[in-house]
Amino acid sequence: MATATLPGRQSLIGVAVPRIDGPLKTSGSAQYAVDYNFPRLAHAAAVQSTIGKGKIRSLDASAAERMPGVLLVLHHGNMEKVFRLFRGQDEGNTSESRPPFEDENVYYWGQYVALVVADTLEQATAAADAVRVEYDAETPDVTTNLGDFPAGMRTTSKRGDPDKALAEAPVTVDETYTTPAETHNPMEMHGTVAVWEGDSVTLYESSQGVVNHRTVMAEALGIPRENVRVISRFIGSGFGGKLFPWPHSTLAAVAARKLDRPVKLSVDRRMMFTSVGHRPITQQRIRLGATTDGKLTAIRHDFLNHTSIGDDIVERCGEQTPFLYSCANLAVSNALVKRNIGTPTPMRGPGAVPGLFALESAMDELAIKLKMDPLDLRYKNDAVRDEGANLPFSSRHLKECWQVGADKIGWSKRTPQPASMRRDGKIIGLGLGSASWGAARIPCEATVELCPNGRVCVRCATQDIGTGTYTIFAQVMQEKTGVPLDRIDVFLGDSSLPPGPTSGGSMATSAVLPAATSAVSSAVTRLLHIAALSPSSPFYGAKAEDLALINGRVHMKEQPPVRGVAFRDDNLPRVHPPAGGMAFEEIINLAGMSGINASGRTFPSFEDPKARAYSLHSYGAHFAEVEWEPDIARLRVSRIVSVFDCGRIINPKAGMNQIQGAAVMGVGMALLEETLYDSRTGQTINGSFADYLVATCADLPELDVTFLDYPDLIVNEYGARGIGEIGMAGVAPAITAAVYHATGVRVRDLPVRIEDLLQSKIA
Ligand code: MOS
């Protein structure tokens, strides 16, 4: 681009820009879903089943209905018609397909059986306690052991003859790994404020996908999409739990319609463990075959995950297995196991995170059997082509992730014998785990407006779940117009805006970049044409191609956009442009326009033959160091070095936060997180922040994150892939490998427990 060399042009792409929404959040002025209040707002409280399986025999709401302030008790007996939902389509993805209160059956503990609405939250909560429900209870099946792998599992990837290769392999590993149910616990809990106006409803919701939420709610309520508006301006994260609507949203909408009053329904922390999804239990058998010098000859990955009675949710643990390593013989198969637990849903790095715990743990075990350095085993089996999809990689630098990470953590000084390394009287263990996650360009539309007040506005119905999407849009606007960030307004989180992607699958950034770029580029092109064609413009008569917009000023390309530089060009006699160009808003005002609008869209990679010819994935590696004090059985994760290949990094600060946060979540996965269910009732036993442990600041290791920053131009013009989920993959196996190295104890069932470590023979 010729203009790129002109003075004064500075791009903020690739710069660690602080989040533009930060001040709103830290000052408490950002409004989250249940912060919205309206005149005549009524408050709802849910009544949840206290059995895990069975039928409602009777429901007596009469006492509750007589209590002060109570407006409505909604239940199966008086529920308005709402509709069934089906998942798995491109549009309208839901979580629980059963409409709330559909019948008197109970499938899991905590299922909604009634909803009380009252003038105040206290009245609603008190009355909810007064709803008498009697059940015909059966014993729920909440067994965490998923049992034997059944015959006839579904095979999703196969090549060569893995069984024959396993039988012939001189060295094999055959182990089973399990991960427990993990519950998303974002800071902001779920909630809905439903406000009807005539036949239309606005839902203030904590949603990772306002467009999808609108589509699903229109189907649930049986009304046209244009009659539903979903607003999620700020979100206290989601981790996948807010990708798809949950029944509380439907209940709030139905209650508000019935009462003709706005209704607020909050999901509290305890309900977070029953009613809005979780990562399901996985059980994975990995079989590896290798030559004596460590070349993989066979991989079999069989896995089970639990799902709910009503919905078939596959946790795709085998997604990375076919392409992470080079291996001629491979099979990935899976099956589902039904449990009386609410419907599972994606949680940060669904499939990949538990899947790579199993695969990478098995690779560590294979290295030990081979008496080979686990890092050398990875190098030896690195793939140069996606052997699962039979496609070239668009851009893969996993080997460099391993190399850089190994250097940073000092891998070359690692002695392989368990408990052979000590520091300050503690035993040190080192382990590594690889990570991968898919990349794609999903559809997105955006509009950009150059405003007569000198501001640039960009609009898109995607949302920022805390990851930095507002800021990414602003950075693109800044780059293409030169207008500073404090004069850029980004409007997201409203389904009435041009349709944007769900903040999921780590694909929001790669989806919004092309739409934002093309919208702002079109707006600038329109501006330059107007500058050239409008008789009141000082550039009237110039060729639009000879004009540029830099630093927010329109000017002749040959002339710097700086005041005080004289302009003379006798070849352009009709043009009398001001020295230093003219602010873009002055052009708009001189032309008598209200603003200059343009739209842009992202062409999805799955419709793009060029992108479809490649395997699109991000890669990374975590190296974990643990400290083990055998005398007091104390284990700490002391250090995690993470090196990631996620394409070009648009904002290193926001990107770094993603990997750091994911690494912390990975520490929780490895050492703490496990949702427990009572085998008698199906109740979540540890459904609170006191009992369900997540990693906190006190558990933090030293975090060291590096991005390789190789642009992947197959994905978009900036070369950016996604970062959100991949950082959680590979952490747990790096930690359990380090635990083995420190203690000699191999933990195959997460989380690592003190009881496991007490088996250590090392004193
Ligand atoms: Mo991610 S589990 O798609 O929010």
* DSSP label of 393: B
Task: For residue 28, name the pLDDT band (cuts at 50, 70, 90).
Answer: very high
For the cut 50, the answer to whether the pLDDT of residue 511 exceeds it is: yes
Helices 469-481 + 508-533 axis angle, to 10: 30
Mutate to test the pocket of ligand 1, among 243, 442, 463 (most ligand atoms within 8 A of CB): 243
Question: Measured in angstroms, how far is the CA atom of residue 454 from the centroid of ligand 1?
Answer: 37
Nearest CA-CA partner of 298 in 164, 425, 479:
164
Any ligand 1 atom below 6 A from CB of 245: no
Count of other CB atoms within 10 angstroms of residue 542:
23
Residues paired with residue 106 on neighbouring β-strands, in sequence order: 54
pLDDT digits (tens, 9 = 90+) for 434-462: 999 999 999 999 999 999 999 999 999 99
**478 and 511 Cβ atoms separated by less than 8 Å:** no
Ligand 1 centroid–CA 326 distance in Å is 28
For residue 14, CA distances in Å to 332, 519, 710 come to 38, 20, 12
- The overall average pLDDT reported for the chain is 94
- Tell me the DSSP string of 150-205: PSSPEEEEEES-HHHHHHH-SEEEEEEEEE--B----SSPPEEEEEEETTEEEEEE
- Pocket lining: 332 vs ligand 1, CB cutoff 6 Å: no
Cα–chain center distance at 229: 23
Q: Is 725 in the pocket of ligand 1 (CB under 6 A)?
A: yes
What dihedral do alpha carbons 208, 214, 215, 217 form, nearest 10°? 110
Of ligand 1's atoms, which has the minimum distance to the CA of residue 240? 4
Index of the ligand 1 atom closest to the CA of residue 238: 4
| pTM for the structure as a whole | 0.95
SS3 290: strand
DSSP string, 513-539: HHHHHHHHHHHHHHHHHHHHH-TTSTT
603-615: burial string, b at 16+ Cβ within 10 Å, e else: ebbeeeeebeebb
Give, for ligand 1, the residue of 244, 348, 437, 464 to mutate: max count of ligand atoms closer than 8 Å to Cβ. Answer: 348
Confidence (pLDDT) at 4: 36
650 has a pLDDT exceeding 50: yes
Question: What ligand 1 atom has the least distance to the C-alpha of 502?
Answer: 3
Least confident of 216-225, 468-477, 571-580: 571-580
Residue 386 pLDDT > 70: yes
Strand partners, 112: 48
User: Which has the closest alpha carbon to 473: 439, 505, 517?
Assistant: 517
How far is residue 290's CA from residue 295's CA, in Å, rounded to a whole number? 5
| 214/198 Cα distance (integer angstroms) | 17
Atom index in ligand 1 nearest the CA of residue 503 equals 4
Pocket of ligand 1 contains residue 504 by CB under 6 Å:
yes
193 contacts: CB under 8 Å, gap ≥ 6 = 33, 34, 36, 37, 38, 41, 203, 204, 205, 252, 262, 263, 264, 265
Tokens of 64: 């509750």
Cβ count within 10 A of residue 579: 15
- For ligand 1, whether the C-beta of 235 sits within 6 Å is no
Q: How confident is the model at residue 567 (pLDDT cuts 50, 70, 90)?
A: very low
pLDDT of 574 over the 50 cut: no
| 228, 203 Cβ separation under 8 angstroms | yes
Query: Over 80: is that where the pLDDT of 540 sits?
Result: yes
pLDDT mean over 629-647: 96
Q: Provide the percentage of residues in the chain whose pLDDT is more than 90.
A: 93
Which residue is it, tokens 């949702």? 675
Give the pLDDT score at 576.
Answer: 59
Distance CA(574)–CA(542), nearest Å, equals: 8
Cβ of 505 less than 6 Å from ligand 1? yes
327/295 Cα distance (integer angstroms): 8
How far apart, in whole angstroms, are the C-alpha atoms of residue 727 and residue 468?
Answer: 16
Confirm or reject: Cβ of 347 under 6 Å from ligand 1: yes
pLDDT above 50 (res 6)? no
pLDDT at 564: 38
Write out the catalytic residue numbers. Answer: 725
In angstroms, rounded to a whole number, what is the distance separating the alpha carbons of residues 358 and 318? 10
CA distances from 407 to 233, 364, 410, 412, 731 (A): 42, 19, 5, 7, 18
What DSSP element (H or E) covers 573? none
Given a contact cutoff of 8 angstroms between Cβ atoms, the answer to whether 320 and 433 are in contact is no
> What's CA 87's distance to the chain center, in Å?
19
How many angstroms separate the CA atoms of 147 and 114, rounded? 35
- Using left for φ > 0, alpha for ψ between -120 and 50, and beta otherwise, residue 754 falls in alpha
| 499 secondary structure, DSSP code | B
Share of the chain above pLDDT 70, in %: 96
CA pair distance 119, 721, nearest whole angstrom: 48
Q: What's the pLDDT at 519?
A: 98
Q: What are the backbone angles phi and psi of residue 82, rounded to the nearest 5°? A: -125, 160
Q: Which tokens belong to 461?
A: 């119905």
Distance 305 CA to ligand 1 centre (A): 18
Q: Considering only CA atoms, which residue is closest to atom 4 of ligand 1? A: 240
Q: Which pLDDT belongs to residue 2?
A: 31
Structure tokens at 350: 């669904």
DSSP reduced 3-state for 22: helix
Say if CB 479 and CB 12 are below 8 A apart: yes
Work out the pLDDT band at 9, boundaries 50, 70, 90: low
Q: Identify the pLDDT of residue 86.
A: 80
Residue 577 has pLDDT above 80, yes or no: no
Residue 123 CA, ligand 1 centroid: distance in Å: 36
Kindly state the helix (H) or strand (E) to which residue 638 belongs, with its residue range. strand 634-645
Residue 324's pLDDT is what? Answer: 98
Give the mean model confidence (pLDDT) for residues 590-608. Answer: 95
Judge whether 169 and 291 are in contact, CB under 8 Å: yes
pLDDT tens sequence across 89-105: 678 899 999 999 999 99
**240: amino acid identity, one letter:** G
238 CA from centroid of ligand 1 (Å): 8
Question: 348 CB less than 6 Å from ligand 1?
Answer: yes
What is the Cα–Cα distance from 705 to 655, expressed in whole angstroms? 10
Indicate the pLDDT class of residue 184, thresholds 50, 70 and 90. very high
CA angle 312, 313, 314 (to 5 degrees): 115
Cis before 751? omega within 30 = yes
| Contact between 723 and 645 (Cβ < 8 Å) | no
How are beta strands 296-307 and 191-197 bridged, if at all?
unpaired
Residue pLDDT, tens place only, 201-254: 999 999 999 999 999 999 999 999 999 999 999 999 999 999 999 999 999 999
pLDDT band at 570 (very low <50, low <70, confident <90, very high): very low
CB 350 near ligand 1, within 6 Å = yes
Residue 561 confidence (pLDDT) above 70: no
Output the CA 445–ligand 1 centroid distance in Å.
21
Q: What separation in Å is there between the alpha carbon of 464 and the centre of ligand 1?
A: 13
Q: Of 273, 266, 261, 233, which Cα lies nearest the Cα of 249?
A: 266
- DSSP label at 390? T
Q: Are 554 and 531 in contact (CB under 8 A)?
A: yes
Res. 545: pLDDT tops 90: yes
Residue type, 616: L
Question: For residues 306, 309, 312 and 315, what is the CA-based torsion angle, rounded to 10 degrees?
Answer: -20
Is 67's pLDDT higher than 70? yes
**Confidence (pLDDT) at 505:** 93
**pLDDT score of 10 more than 80:** yes
pLDDT of 565 reads: 37
| Residue 243 CB less than 6 A away from ligand 1 | yes
Which pLDDT score is estimated for 558?
A: 78
